Amino acid sequence: MVSVESPVGPLGIVIAVGCMYIDFLIQVILHEAGHLAFGLLTGYKYVSFRIGSLVWIKDQNNKLAMKHMKIQGTGGQCLLCPPDVEIEKCPYKLYHLGGGLVNLVVGGIAILLAILLPKSLLTYILCEEFGVIGLALGLTNLIPAKSGGMQNDGYNLLDLSKNMDAKRCINLVLTINALMTVADSYDDLPQDIRDEIKSIDFSQMDITNSSVMNAYNYQAAIYYSESRYRRAYEIQKDIMEKEGVLPIFQNEAKCECLFYELTHGAEKEKVDTLYDTALQKYVKATALYPSRQRLLFTYYTLFEKDEEKASGAYEKLEKLVETYMIKADAKLELEVAKKVRDGVLSDADEVEEDPIPKSARGVSGQKKGIGDGSFGL
């Protein structure tokens, strides 16, 4: 690294620090490109490539389209569709290793150049600083660990090598994600896929495993799309109360349980307990999720009874239908919000004349419906 006696100088150090952000961004792009390249080489098909909140998907017309999506705790993500082979034979190592390996190789080359070339500000920024960031990013992704509520590539790879449940679940999740990326609605999801995800008995699995958890969330999402809100709520409640579940999944589950309680006329004390300071911060950080705007719309409509805020959340949700990566998710959330607004949301598994508690009615006294949350990830 640069020392005080280095030819970089004080001004150069300031410039170098500023360039660290650019170096990091380039390394993130290289990391995701590594996943893409190694995945395609082993039979996977392109689905999406995300950097920050910008994501490029392959749409229904097999053309690239730019959408928006941001996942807390991640700087980027490359999602591919696994090859149609038996689970035991499905390749997964290179797809998961690719990102970290590219960072290590590019970072190593940059460090070598920094050693061989004359010392200068340009050499430091383009080689030494860039190389150190690449090596750090590669190692922190490949050495198995959990950080910021997420499992890194190395942890996922180790997990998949010894856990057949996780391998089955990640393949199913990637397949569903690929289908949903080009779907116009949940109705487009093939029935055999719906049946498969609903047939899984997650009570016999370790739901603290992120691959299993993602599949469990999709099971809740399928029930939610079928208006089986109580069944979806039971899943989210299980996730929320399970010890050892990653924070990001518990926060999502807590949001959905809050939504369910709101539409069931929960008392103020219960709502305030769920919607504590920590969850409020999470809701703010995930405002780009359609499910989050649906939650806020419901909260402002049924609990705070603030028409202006409710209208703002509804307008944001309408815009997300056109910009969000998974259009079917955004459309479903808008449909649910409309039902909450019109007081016609009811559970397909419940047959009652008036299932909506009086306490869950809006300012006008109109029924506000029963509902539950969906997978917002």
The per-residue pLDDT for 375 is 26
CA distance 328 to 305: 28
Given a contact cutoff of 8 angstroms between Cβ atoms, the answer to whether 20 and 92 are in contact is no
The per-residue pLDDT for 12 is 64
Q: State the burial class of residue 12 (Cβ atoms within 10 Å of its Cβ: 0-12, 13-18, 19+).
A: middle
Q: pTM of this prediction?
A: 0.85
The per-residue pLDDT for 357 is 44
Which one-letter DSSP state was computed for residue 287? T
Query: Based on C-alpha coordinates, what's the Rg of the chain?
Result: 23
The per-residue pLDDT for 148 is 62
CA distance 270 to 284: 20
| Domain locations in the chain as residue ranges | 9-44+82-161, 163-360
C-alpha angle 259-264-269 in degrees, rounded to nearest 5: 75
The per-residue pLDDT for 368 is 35
Amino acid at 164: M
Walk along the chain (377 residues) in steps of 10 and give the mean pLDDT of each run. Answer: 50 75 95 98 97 93 91 88 94 96 97 88 81 96 83 93 94 96 94 96 93 96 95 97 92 97 92 96 95 98 96 97 94 97 88 44 38 31
Q: What is the dihedral of CA 163, 161, 252, 142, to 10 degrees?
A: 160
